[in-house]
Amino acid sequence: MNLRTFQIFAALCENGCHVTRTAEILHMAQPAVSNTVKELESYYGVKLFDRFGKKLVITPAGKRLLDYSKMVMSGYDELEKELRNWDTLGELRIGASSSIGAYFLPRLLTDFMEEYPDLLITVQINESSVLEEMILDNRIDLALTEGTVHHEEIKSETFMEDELALISSSRRFDDGKILTVEELQKVPFLIRDRESGTREAVLSKFREAGILPDIRIESVSTEAILQCVYQDLGIAAVPMRIANKAHDTGKASIIGSKGMNMKRRYLLICHRNKFLSRSALNFIDRCRSLECK
């Protein structure tokens, strides 16, 4: 049985079981409509109509088949509507590191969700390494991360650049203090956990400058690191926008070090073989035009 068979049967029932009228509406020959009924009765082994001369009267089995026919046609219509409009009615699964998820993603999603009000958007906030695994397992479509990519199956592009800043408590160093390599290696250092893209970026900058930091505290929370800085437990490297907010509290100083390049990249990643819908590509374009503020 195919969809057309159920469509003809349903049309016959909806037109008073009148073969001639149904044939005219469907632009078919009358025998073709009658043959469709015979095929259905033969296939299912039941009587769908009682015949009183030329008049057809639907049987209980026919009524049941009509219910199923409507379900089949409704399901087909939903399938056509959903897949043909997948970009506006489907799903987009986004991953983001904690920093990007907290500071940039809300900005990106506000206008995007207005453009795609019926698109189901799910967001996973996690460490960069975890997001890479989710990409590989097809649990998310794309992700916004920090640091570097560790799998050949994942492709990446830089969508924005940011700058890291060193901060200390205002009691330890004055604002604008420039530390030597020797001073940086002696001062206690506070850093994100081992799965964090920010940690990877920070340590990469230190390696480039030939600095081995004296790591004292590790945390999954940037806010916890800030509180430790305020209590003068050490210094930390955080995104510039966070450093500025910490500085505004009066509890932290923004400091620096000779010869350190503190620029870093934010990456947009997805699987090399991933098919991206038009809505996903639209979202990527929005990421590319995002400014770091």
Q: Average pLDDT for consecutive 10-residue bins of the chain (293 residues)?
A: 86 90 90 90 90 87 90 75 63 90 89 89 91 91 89 92 92 93 90 82 85 90 93 93 92 89 89 86 91 66
Does the residue 46 lie in any domain?
yes
**Is residue 121 located within the same domain as residue 150?**
yes
Tokens representing residue 216 in the block: 């004292």
Helix, strand or coil, per DSSP, at residue 41 = helix
End residue of a domain, out of 52, 83, 114: 83
**Is residue 142 located within the same domain as residue 77?**
no
How far is Cα 239 from Cα 242, in angstroms, rounded to an integer? 5
**Is residue 184 located within the same domain as residue 238?**
yes
Does the residue 147 lie in any domain?
yes
Domain assignment of residue 201, given as a range: 162-264
- What is residue 222's predicted lDDT score, i.e. its pLDDT? 87
- What is residue 82's predicted lDDT score, i.e. its pLDDT? 61
- What is residue 246's predicted lDDT score, i.e. its pLDDT? 94
**Is residue 174 located within the same domain as residue 259?**
yes
- The enclosing domain of 48 has a CATH number of 1.10.10.10
Largest Cα–Cα distance in the chain?
A: 106
**Is residue 96 located within the same domain as residue 140?**
yes
Number of domains in the chain: 3
**Is residue 180 located within the same domain as residue 243?**
yes
**Is residue 33 located within the same domain as residue 107?**
no
How far is Cα 140 from Cα 254, in angstroms, rounded to an integer? 37
- What is residue 81's predicted lDDT score, i.e. its pLDDT? 62
How far is Cα 224 from Cα 226, in angstroms, rounded to an integer? 5
How far is Cα 117 from Cα 168, in angstroms, rounded to an integer? 44
**Is residue 168 located within the same domain as residue 250?**
yes
**Is residue 251 located within the same domain as residue 275?**
no
Cβ atoms of 219 and 211 within 8 Å: the answer is no
**Nearest alpha-carbon partner for 143 in 134, 86, 151:** 134
Handedness of CA 16, 17, 19, 22 (dihedral sign): positive
Does the residue 201 lie in any domain?
yes
Does the residue 48 lie in any domain?
yes
DSSP state, 123? E
Tokens representing residue 157 in the block: 């592009």
**Is residue 237 located within the same domain as residue 270?**
no
How far is Cα 222 from Cα 192, in angstroms, rounded to an integer? 7
- The enclosing domain of 225 has a CATH number of 3.40.190.290
Residue pointed to by tokens 């049987």: 59
End residue of a domain, out of 83, 108, 132: 83
Does the residue 293 lie in any domain?
no
Residue type, 67: D
End residue of a domain, out of 30, 65, 83: 83
**Is residue 149 located within the same domain as residue 277?**
yes
Helix, strand or coil, per DSSP, at residue 75 = helix
Handedness of CA 61, 66, 67, 72 (dihedral sign): positive
Residues whose CB falls within 8 Å of the CB of residue 151, separated by 6 or more in sequence, listed in order: 132, 135, 136
Q: What is the full DSSP assignment across 32-53?
A: HHHHHHHHHHHHHTS--EEEET
Does the residue 207 lie in any domain?
yes
- The enclosing domain of 117 has a CATH number of 3.40.190.10
- What is residue 217's predicted lDDT score, i.e. its pLDDT? 93
**Is residue 99 located within the same domain as residue 166?**
no
- What is residue 86's predicted lDDT score, i.e. its pLDDT? 61
Global pTM? 0.62
C-alpha dihedral over 151, 153, 157, 160, to 10 degrees? -50
Q: How would you classify residue 17: left for phi > 0, otherwise alpha for psi between -120 and 50, otherwise beta? A: left
